[in-house]
Structure 1
Amino acid sequence: MTSVTRMIRMDHTHVMAVFHKYEPSLSARVKKGLVDQVCLAVEVHATLEEEIFYPALREVSDNEVLRKSEPEHYEMKQLIARLRAMEGTGPELDSTFYTLMQNIIHHVADEETVLLPLAERVLVKELDDLGSRWSRRKMHLMAPRAPEMASGMARSMSGSGLLIAAGAVLLGGLLVAKRNAMEQAVTHAHRMMKRRKLMAQVQNLLPGHKTVASRVLARLP
Structure 2
Amino acid sequence: MDAIALLKQQHREVEELFEKFEKAGEGKDEVRMDLFARIADNLAAHATIEEKLFYPSVYVGPTADKLQEAVEEHLAVKRVIADLLDMDPSDTQFKAKMSVLQELVDHHVEEEEKQLFKDVKKLMGKEELAIIGEQMEAMFNELIQTEPRMQVPRETDEAAPLA
Correspondence 1:100 to 2:96: no
Per-residue CA distance 1:155-201 (angstroms, 9 max, x = gap): xxxxxxxxxxxxxxxxxxxxxxxxxxxxxxxxxxxxxxxxxxxxxxx
Q: CA deviation at 1:136?
A: 1.4
Correspondence 1:25 to 2:25: yes
Q: CA deviation at 1:88?
A: 4.2
Secondary structure at the counterpart of residue 62 of structure 1:
helix
Question: Which residue of the partner structure matches residue 138 of structure 1?
Answer: 140
Kept after mapping to 1: 8 A contact 2:63/2:120: no
Question: Which residue of the partner structure matches residue 75 of structure 1?
Answer: 76
Kept after mapping to 1: 8 A contact 2:73/2:108: yes
Runs of 4+ in 1 over 4 A off after TM superposition: none
What amino acid is the match of 1:114?
Answer: Q
What amino acid is the match of 2:10?
Answer: D
Kept after mapping to 1: 8 A contact 2:2/2:130: yes
What amino acid is the match of 1:19?
Answer: F
Per-residue CA distance 1:21-43 (angstroms, 9 max, x = gap): 12362411111111111111100
Secondary structure at the counterpart of residue 58 of structure 1:
coil
Per-residue CA distance 1:131-150 (angstroms, 9 max, x = gap): 1111111122123339x9xx
Kept after mapping to 1: 8 A contact 2:87/2:94: yes
Q: CA deviation at 1:91?
A: 2.6
Give the structure-1-normalised TM-score: 0.62
TM alignment of 1:42-121, pairs within 5 A: 42-59=43-60, 61-121=62-122
Kept after mapping to 2: 8 A contact 1:19/1:101: yes
Provide the identity percentage. Answer: 23
Secondary structure at the counterpart of residue 58 of structure 2:
helix
Alpha-carbon distance in 1 for matches of 2:63, 2:112:
14
Kept after mapping to 2: 8 A contact 1:60/1:122: no
Q: CA deviation at 1:86?
A: 0.3
| Greater Cα radius of gyration, structure 1 or 2 | 1
| Structure 2 runs not aligned, ≥5 long | 151-163
Number of residues paired by the alignment?
A: 146
What amino acid is the match of 1:22?
Answer: F
Kept after mapping to 1: 8 A contact 2:84/2:97: yes
Kept after mapping to 2: 8 A contact 1:11/1:45: yes
Q: CA deviation at 1:67?
A: 1.6
Kept after mapping to 1: 8 A contact 2:84/2:94: yes
Question: Which residue of the partner structure matches residue 7 of structure 2?
Answer: 8
Change (3 A) 1:142 1:117: same
Change (3 A) 1:53 1:105: same
Alpha-carbon distance in 2 for matches of 1:63, 1:19:
30
Alpha-carbon distance in 1 for matches of 2:14, 2:100:
14
Alignment RMSD: 1.9
